[in-house]
Amino acid sequence: MKNLRGMTYEDILQEVTALGAKPYRAEQIFTWIYKRGITGIDAMTDVSKVFRELLKEGFFIGAVDVAAVRRSPDGTVKLATRLEDGLLIESVLIPDADRLTLCVSSQAGCALGCKFCATGMNGFIRNLTLGELTGQVFAAQGLLEEGARITNAVMMGMGEPLLNYDNVIHFTGILTDARGFGLSHNKVTISTAGIIPGIERMAREAGVNLAVSINAATDEVRGRIMPVNNKYPLAGLVGALRAYPLTGRKVITIEYVLLKNVNDSTRDAEGLIKLLKGITCKINIIPLNPFPGARFSRPDDKAVEQFANILRNAGLTALVRFSKGADVQGACGQLAGECPSASHSAC
């Protein structure tokens, strides 16, 4: 049996064709599944009963198992979803003015081992399937009040999206398909720790936004806090960003987690300015979100503003992302045993 919530339009087209149906059936089914969010095949009222029975023999609509929900007074909602094999993954809904952003996990755990990230400290378990990626949207939609809808999506939860490339790109395709979740391309962002081949593929294949976690201005510092830098050092990474095609008003988002006495000096800020020359970008500064066992601390607010101002004075756009939902993070973080990043406003 196959989960229709884990299938692309092309997958469905292939299946219905194999069942001897006309291509328009695929469009109907895809729309019912993702746009209308039905939970049973019988809800496809414009599909004949005979064909629905045929579908039921090989397909189902996977239910989502929301294991825990934590609501913060600031409006952030963190949800843990239980997967078929018992694993828990997290997603976060972040309301902000007229936006409602869903922060999605791409993997259970993460293999990249960044020293400031709880997910990285806990190691890698497995990639999430396409059904588990779309499942996070359905789980979040189930918690929305009447009339509310998700306006933005960011792949900034647990895991490295570009190491689960195919599923993530299929997922962003469904997010941005008018027959699917219907978000516009510039409302969907993939965040990477700097997997260069993935960035190069995205440059050719994906129409969604790119965010890159730079986090340091030299290989020396970056290598210490992000082991992935040893495989993909800064020169190659910024080269890939310079070559990245940007259409219209698009910019690359540069994420910079600020760690006290590690990457928060004036020299670090100046190094970052130099590094980013020639890249059309905006910088999101994220003061470290501490977690139990973290080896770093968060600079005080004044130091954070100072760092941001050096960048601004050099003509860069720098936003400070103060954490949202920090009060619900502990509880949920323990539940899934993972990433504080899923609960902060990098999302």
Task: Establish whether 114 is a catalytic residue.
Answer: no
188 binds ligand SAH (CB under 6 A): no
Within 103-142, the residues that bind ligand SF4 by CB under 6 A are 110, 112-114, 117, 119-120
Indicate which single residue of 3, 8, 289, 345 sits in contact with ligand SAH (rule: CB under 6 A): 289
Q: Is 202 among the residues that bind ligand SAH (CB under 6 A)? A: no
143: left (phi over 0), alpha (psi -120 to 50) or beta: alpha
Residue placing its CB nearer to ligand SF4 in the complex, 5 or 321: 321
**44 near ligand SF4, judged by CB under 6 A:** no
Instruction: Please state the closest distance from residue 233 (CB atom) to ligand SF4, in A.
Output: 16
Q: Does the annotation mark 332 as catalytic?
A: yes
Q: Does 339 bind ligand SF4 (CB under 6 A)?
A: yes
* Active-site hit among 332, 338, 339, 347: 332
Identify the residue among 132, 255, 264, 268 touching ligand SAH (CB under 6 A).
255
Q: Which of 129, 253, 323, 341 binds ligand SF4 (CB under 6 A)?
A: 341
Least distance (Å) between residue 113 CB and ligand SF4:
6
Q: How far apart are the first and last CA of the chain?
A: 34
**Least CB distance to ligand SAH at residue 287 (A):** 7
The stretch among 40-48, 75-83, 143-151, 284-292 that binds ligand SAH (CB under 6 A) is 284-292
- Using the CB atoms, write b or e for 109-126: b if 16+ within 10 Å: bbebbbebbbbbbbebbe
**Per rule CB under 6 A, is residue 229 in the interface with ligand SAH?**
no
Q: Are 109 and 124 in contact (CB under 8 A)?
A: yes
Under rule CB under 6 A, residue 286 binds ligand SAH: yes
d(CA 93, CA 75) in angstroms, rounded, equals 8
The token pair that represents 5 in the structure block: 């919530």
Between residues 37 and 227, which has the closer beta carbon with respect to ligand SAH? 227
- Between 118 and 183, CB nearer to ligand SF4: 118
CB nearer to ligand SAH: pick between 122 and 191: 191
Return the residue of 83, 94, 216, 346 that touches ligand SAH, per CB under 6 A: 346
One residue of 191, 253, 329, 345 binding ligand SAH per CB under 6 A: 191
Give CA–CA dist 224/207, Å, rounded: 32
Chain position whose Cβ is nearest to ligand SF4: 120
Residues in the interface with ligand SAH (CB under 6 A) total 19
Binding site for ligand SAH (CB under 6 A): 116-117, 156, 160, 191-193, 213, 215, 255, 257, 286, 288-289, 291, 340-341, 344, 346
Active site residues: 90, 332
